[in-house]
Each structure stands twice: as structure tokens, then as C-alpha cells.
Structure 1
């Protein structure tokens, strides 16, 4: 796999403040990596280093095989960036703004209409940006980031200001870019959005990398319980209790539903028993720990991944 982004023992200090401390990772083609952490964890500092806007105090950063701070024009043309708070000249129209950025990247003006269509702004292309809503400005920022089909796409809180439908549209574009081989690194506090959209998660805390892996890998390391939720018709809850041996860890949710927490081994044992016996429930759900729970687990001082 081609490694489009490589960080080796990166540290970044601002006086006595260690914004980043010995951070290393690589990201290859076709990966979508989520940077997760609280405010001040070092996410935006990492993005600035990858953009070449800042140099590390120690360690090395390579994007598309080059030091991004060297300002190689060929590398910059293959790099896309969407900041958390986009800011454009309010007197320009959306079309005029994109034409300006297309010119900076030496791309064809003919690509502008396609970009506007891709982010759903064709209807507002000739309106002044000062009349745009926050969500519209965010979509225009995404169009700017997509100029030239970047090989590396850096997104900082990209869905800020987008309604649920537009968030789905945004992640559809992200998946298309990933499937075409683009390396995507996004920073977000919306952890529920990242499940199913990020192939890998890097958790930062106080400038250190404390976890790195796919959701399944993080679940195996964390060993948090899976919630088994069983539902039965009227009067069936007691039958479930009897079938489970009236375990003290059973929790009754309502008159039809009962649940318990199960370790990975306990989940497998339950499934084997449910498949080989007259199970007294009409439906069962397995709810694995989500990214919110994994994030809280790794920030709680437990062993890191």
C-alpha cells in the first residue's frame, strides 16, 4: 500500500506547552482516518503540520513523499483542505470564488460547474456568498477542497452547520473519494457519524496518541461488553428470566424487553445456546460498544492500543 501520509515521532511545542508528544502513524491510499480527541488534544495542530503551515519541533512529517512545509507546488495541488470555519469574500458569488481557487491550483474553469453540482449549490452559484447560510458556506468550502481530485484530503470538523440530509450527502462524497484511492483524514467531535464512515480511528489525548485502529480492533483491545437485548410478547419477560437462570445481571427495560451485558466470550456462548434451544424471545439485538464508549474507555487511563 502506498503511504500518502507519514508521521514519525512528531512533537510540537509552544513554549512549555506540548501540543504534540511523540506521535507516529502512517495513512495509505483509500483510508479514511478519524482524528478523535477533546479540544486541545492536538488534532488541529496535526492538520497544520500536514498542510505545511507549521513545522514540528522534532520528528518528521511527509505528505505524498515530501516535507509539506517545503511548499512543493506539485504536492499542494494534490492536497485538499476544509477548515472548521470557512471564510470567503462575501461580495463574491459561489461561482466566482471557485473560479479563483481553481486558478490557484491551475485546474480548468470547466470543473467549476461540476463541483457546484456535486455539493448541491448549482441553484446558488451566482448568489453572493454573503447571502449564504452557514451550511451553504460549508458546502462551498467542501467544493474548494475537492478541486483537482486531491490525493490527500484533510477535513477539520467538516459537517459543522450541515443538516442530517446534507451530512449524508457529505459522507457519500467522502466514500466516493476513498473508493477512488484518496487518503482522507478528518477531525470531528460527532463520534456517532464516524461509525461506518471511518476505516480507522486515532484517539489523541493531551498531545499523545493513545489508541489507533479500526472500530473492531479497538473493541477487541477495550473488551467492553456487548449489550444483548431480548424482546418477547406479553408475559414473556419472566420466561426469558427463567431460561437465563434468573441471573442477577439481567435488566428489565419494559414489559417486553430484558437485557444484559456480555463479554466477547459470553456473547458467543449466548448465541450458541440461543441457536440450539427453544429460545423464549421473539427478537434479539446485539449492541456492541460504540465509538463514544470506546473514546471514554481509552481516555479513562486504561492501557492504550
Structure 2
């Protein structure tokens, strides 16, 4: 659905995008993550045809983001920018009808979309009376106008409460199941790590890694975290068994013992604990989070 090859874009002396190669498959939910200033928003604007690349090529749906063909392709795109700017003097319904006219979409879609994003109760209220989260929902509704086959969502859950975030991803799941391709950025890595099919890590305008969260974990070979809770106050037997194995430093706190374990030693750790099952009340094994993976590729102090 999307192909970027050796794409570069500069603003004066700033190299915002620097030789990016990227492919997004049709129907996938693709994440794009990076620090502020990494080039995420610039990449979005290049893929939308809002900016012209200095070098390389950007193709969407099999063709370049320019010319008469792309003007037709634009009608199947939806875009939610990071900072939603709306007309304060219009109501929610009037706002959506305004965007529908711009997109050439029938007015019949507007009210059902407002209901879908949880704004039907406020459809007649002026946007100036909306909270930040309500404006974000309205911006999402305009991105969904026309049933786009490709959605670009830049920090889309900004301002949403936990319920709103859950509803947002439920809508995305339904859209993806219907065949929509979705590209999303988010600073809340825990929010997207279980939801994206693949993601790209961007640093200083360059792609550092691309793959599923699990594939990137394996590539980084980050350790697993074990946390054991003893049945009683006596943790000595568990501690002794773990000290005989080549695991990381033990952290002991009352009835709990925590340690890190190389990924390829996972079964050895479980084997060392198996004879002590009558002494263990609980065992939790934690995979490295997407934040751990991200910091591993970008560097904590980068």
C-alpha cells in the first residue's frame, strides 16, 4: 500500500528525513515511533503529498504521490494531524458536514460517525465548548469520512481518557478487519505495543528498525524479568537454587525475589524453580516492553 525508497527531506540545514526505505502492507496496522523531532510528522506529510521529497520516491497504492492519479487516490485517504484545529463557532455536526463537503462525501455519514466516536450527545454544541478529548474525537470522525482505505493518525489518542482510548482502538480494529490500512504514531508505547502488526523506529530522520514487537525483542536479545513470590517468609531455598544458576543479580524484598534472565536461558530458569513449586506462591515472567526495545535502538541518552 505504501512504499518509500531512499526518501530525504531537509528544511534548511535540518535533515528531517534522511534516506528512508519503508514498506507498509495493505490491511496492516503499522506503528511509527520516535522521539520528538525524529521526523515522524514529516514522513506523514510526505506520504500524504503535503510535502515533496528532495530525493527518493514515495508511492501510495502503486503510484507516486503527485499528479492526477494521486488526486484520485487522496479521496480514499483519511488524516488526523497531531494538533487538531477546528472552527470554534461551528457545532460538531456542522463541522463534520463542512469536511464532508470538502471531501465530496454524502451528509448521511455525519450523524452516524458522531455517534460512533461518542459525540452524538454534543452534536449541536459549538466546538468552542468541547473539551480537548471531544475535539480529538471530532477530528477522528472527520478522518473517517468517506470510509478511507488508508488512515494516517498522528498521536490520535492525545487528550482521550482511558475509555476513549479503548473505544478508539475498537473502531480501528473494526476498520482494519474491513481492509483499511492504518499508519499510527504514538508517544504512549505501552498503548500500541499489543495493537500494531509491525512498527518502525525512527531516529534523527532515519529508520533504525522495522518489524513486529516480538521480532524486535528477539533481535535486541533483551533479557526477561522473573518475579517470584514465596508461599511463606522463608525465601532461602529459592534464593539458593537461583544462585547456583547463571542468572542476573537477585533482588530480594520480603517474600519476593526478582531477577533478569537471558532469553535463551528461560527454560533453564524454569527448570531450576520446578523442584521448588511447593515453596512458590506465584511466578511472573515479563517480556521487555516496547519502551525497552525503543530505548535499546535509540539509546537512552540519544
Query: What secondary structure, in the 3-state scheme, does the structure 1 residue paired with 2:253 have?
Result: coil
Contact residue 238 and residue 273 of structure 2 kept, 8 A: no
- 1:217 aligns with 215
Taking the aligned partners of 1:235 and 1:53, their CA distance within structure 2 comes to 63
Corresponding residue SS for 2:195: coil
1:37 — aligned with what? 34
2:284 equivalent in structure 1 = 285
> What are the Cα deviations for residues 228-267 of structure 1, in whole angstroms up to 9, with x where unaligned?
1111122242221123246683433521210111111111
* Alignment gaps of 5+ in structure 1: none
Cα deviation 1:103-158 (Å, max 9, x = unaligned): 22222211111100110000000111111111000000000000111111001111
List per-residue Cα deviations over 1:42-92 (Å, max 9, x = no partner).
Answer: 100000001110011000001122322336332111000001111111111
Look up the match of 1:237: 235
Aligned to 2:262: 263
1:211 to partner: Cα distance: 0.9
Contact 1:66 1:75 in 2 (8 A): no
Q: CA separation in 1, counterparts of 2:97 and 2:108? A: 9
* TM-score with structure 1 setting the length: 0.93
Q: Alpha-carbon deviation of 1:278?
A: 4.0
Q: Does residue 155 of structure 2 align to residue 157 of structure 1?
A: yes
Aligned residue in 2 for 1:299: 298
Deviates more, 1:288-297 or 1:101-110: 101-110
Alpha-carbon distance in structure 1 between the residues aligned to 2:204 and 2:110: 40
5 Å-filtered alignment, 1:37-116, equals 37-70=34-67, 72-116=70-114
Separation (CA, whole Å) in 1 of partners of 2:186 and 2:243: 44
Q: Does 1:9 align with 2:3?
A: no
Match of 1:185 in 2: 183
Tell me, yes or no, if the aligned pair for 1:98 and 1:112 is still in contact at 8 Å: yes
CA contact under 8 A between 2:241 and 2:272: conserved in structure 1? no
Structure 1, 265-274 or 41-50: larger mean CA deviation: 265-274
Give the Å deviation of 1:170. 0.9
Alignment length (residue pairs): 297
Deviations 1:270-301 (A, max 9, x none): 234445x3423121111011011111110129
Contact map agreement 1:52 1:70 (CA 8 A) in 2: no
Runs of 5+ in structure 2 lacking a partner? none
Aligned residue for 1:127, secondary structure, equals coil
**What is the alpha-carbon distance in structure 1 between the residues aligned to residue 186 and residue 198 of structure 2?**
13
Give TM-score scaled by structure 2 length.
Answer: 0.94
